[in-house]
Amino acid sequence: MKKLLTTSLLGAALIAGVAQAQDTEQLRIGVDVPYEPMEYRTPEGELTGFDIELGNALCAQIKAECEWVVQAWDGIIPGLLARKYDAIMSSMTINDERRQTVLFSDPYIKPPSAWFAAADSGIDTVYPESLKGKTIGVQRGTLQDNYVTDMYGDDADISRYSTADDLVLDMDAGRVDIAFLDFPVGKSTLLDSKEGNYVTVGDMISEPEKYFGEGFGIAFRPRDKELANRFDDALATLKQNGTYDEIYDKYFKVK
Amino acid sequence: MEQLNGWFTDLLSNNAIFTANTLGFYWDGLVTTVQLVFLSLLIGVILAVPLAIGRGSKRRWIKLPIYAYTYVFRGTPLLIQLYLVYYGVVFFDGIQDSIFWVVFKEAFFPALIAFTLNTAAYTTEIFHGAIKNTAKGEIEAARAYGMSRKLMMRRIILPSAFRRALPAYGNEVIFMLHASAVASVVTIMDLTGAAYYVYARFYAPFDAFIFVALIYLCLTFSIMFLFRRLEKRLLAHLRPRGA
């Protein structure tokens, strides 16, 4: 009797669950916070950031109800495979190693790098000729380091720092004329914290792929091809109708 | 030889890491390291001789400041000293506009200053110890000849003390070579800086660091060899007869 009751209850719950799923699709997305400005919490504890806003917009576009699941980076792919969530949107760089275990959407952003110089430096272009004899600061071993070494190595002096903080100290000291950094890093350490003293020079840079990679992608379980395709279509639509640019400008545009 | 040559070109053409380009980085690093260490040791010795004599002085106003200096520089890590000299000077207002900025703008001179002060402190103590341990008999003999204190220092105490300090000083030279690896934290492209660069570029920590370790070993070996030779010559009179 007891067994029968349990079974029927379970069955009822199942039917209810299926019925609900047919109303609106429920999706869960894994994310590791904080990684400003891609994903972080507001002082009130709300999740926000570029990934979160774009992810919500994508979900709205495919008419799904999305729930964000916070998961530490180490276990983020195992969590996806274990069905704790259905996708990962957490500034994950697309590469061949990860392609072996997950399915990636089209890249939705290439995190831009940018040039930063003191407002009164007089540097307004970043051609190798205009940086001749100047000192360029980079973080050692980053993709910015590789790019600058190959493109500017013959013309400019390159100072390599182990942390962005050391580089900022030497920018303040006047030992470095111009820095080439991940835009979010430079924005928070140079533009925002010393307002008015520093400016970006030239355009943001995220090409060529050889240096700057394929960009960030949303990861799915390999069998969820159909879901990945729907996200790709939704991303294309958002790029067309201006929603994408709106979110991008909010986080990456210099005021 | 022919075979060895072929093997070497083979090795160079068959690996992605040790190309002419990266070997150039290592070479520049070697030059920088040797320059930095040699100059700081040279200036360090020149500073250490008068300091060591002063350290043994009976007058407290000479002895105590020197003791304080060696205590501070031997009692704190070289890395901290380097940070203080390199990043610390920036906090003096207006240094960018003064003539000192010529010296402090580049990383080389702040590093040279930190290294020199550090090795001078150690060398002072080494020399001071050797001077203090001069055999009483030698001093008494010099007095019996009627030598003044100055003459005795110049002719008897210092030559004998330097010889006896040689093995300890050889160690200091090797320590200094190894300690110079911290120079890369203030953007100097020394040997370790070059290794970091190759490591970061190719994600090959083992290859990059094992190669640089071998270069350091060769340098250490040459230093040891040089000091052995020097000791053999200069300490000949202290060896047991017939040996």
pTM: 0.76
Q: Which chain A residues contact residue B189 at CB under 8 A? A: 160
> Is the CB of residue A172 less than 8 Å away from at least one CB of chain B?
yes
* pLDDT number for residue B241: 76
Q: Which chain A residues contact residue B193 at CB under 8 A? A: 160
Residues 122-161 of A with CB under 8 A from B: 140-142, 145-146, 159-161
Q: Is residue B132 part of a domain?
A: yes
> What strands, in cross-sheet order, belong to the sheet with A87-88?
A64-70, A25-31, A87-88, A219-220, A103-104
In the numeric block, the tokens 């986080």 are attached to A251
Residue A19 pLDDT > 50: no
* pLDDT number for residue A232: 96
Number of domains in chain B: 1
Domain around B155 = 23-235
For all residues of chain A together, what is the average pLDDT?
A: 87
Portion of chain A with pLDDT greater than 90, in percent: 51
Interface test with A, best of B90, B95, B101, B187 (most A CBs within 10 A): B187
pLDDT, tens digit, 9 for 90 and up, residues A113-123: 999 999 988 88
pLDDT band at A7 (very low <50, low <70, confident <90, very high): low
Q: Which chain A residues contact residue B90 at CB under 8 A? A: 169, 172-173
* Backbone φ, ψ for residue A147 (5° rounding): -65, -50
Higher pLDDT, A87 or A208: A87
Structure tokens at B198: 């190759």
Residue A171 pLDDT > 70: yes
The shortest C-alpha distance from B108 to chain A (Å) reads: 12
* pLDDT number for residue A134: 92
pLDDT band at A5 (very low <50, low <70, confident <90, very high): low
pLDDT band at A194 (very low <50, low <70, confident <90, very high): confident
**CATH H-level, domain A113-212: superfamily:** Periplasmic binding protein-like II (3.40.190.10)
* pLDDT number for residue B243: 52
Residues 158-187 of B with CB under 8 A from A: 185, 187
Domain ranges of chain A: 25-110+214-252, 113-212
Give the residue ranges of chain B where pLDDT is below 50.
none
Nearest-CA residue of chain B relative to A144? B201
> Is the CB of residue B196 less than 8 Å away from at least one CB of chain A?
yes
| A134 dihedral zone (left: phi>0; alpha: psi -120 to 50; beta) | beta
Residue A142 pLDDT > 70: yes
Query: Is domain A25-110+214-252 classified as CATH 3.40.190.170?
Result: no
> Is the CB of residue A121 less than 8 Å away from at least one CB of chain B?
no
> Is the CB of residue B107 less than 8 Å away from at least one CB of chain A?
yes
Q: Is residue B4 part of a domain?
A: no
Q: Is residue B243 part of a domain?
A: no
CATH, residue B155:
1.10.3720.10
Common-topology check for domains A25-110+214-252 and A113-212: yes
pLDDT band at A163 (very low <50, low <70, confident <90, very high): confident
Q: Is residue B173 part of a domain?
A: yes
- Asked if B105 and A146 come within 8 Å (Cβ–Cβ), the reply is no
- Asked if B200 and A173 come within 8 Å (Cβ–Cβ), the reply is no
ipTM: 0.74
Residue A2 pLDDT > 70: no
Q: Is residue B212 part of a domain?
A: yes
Q: Is residue B6 part of a domain?
A: no
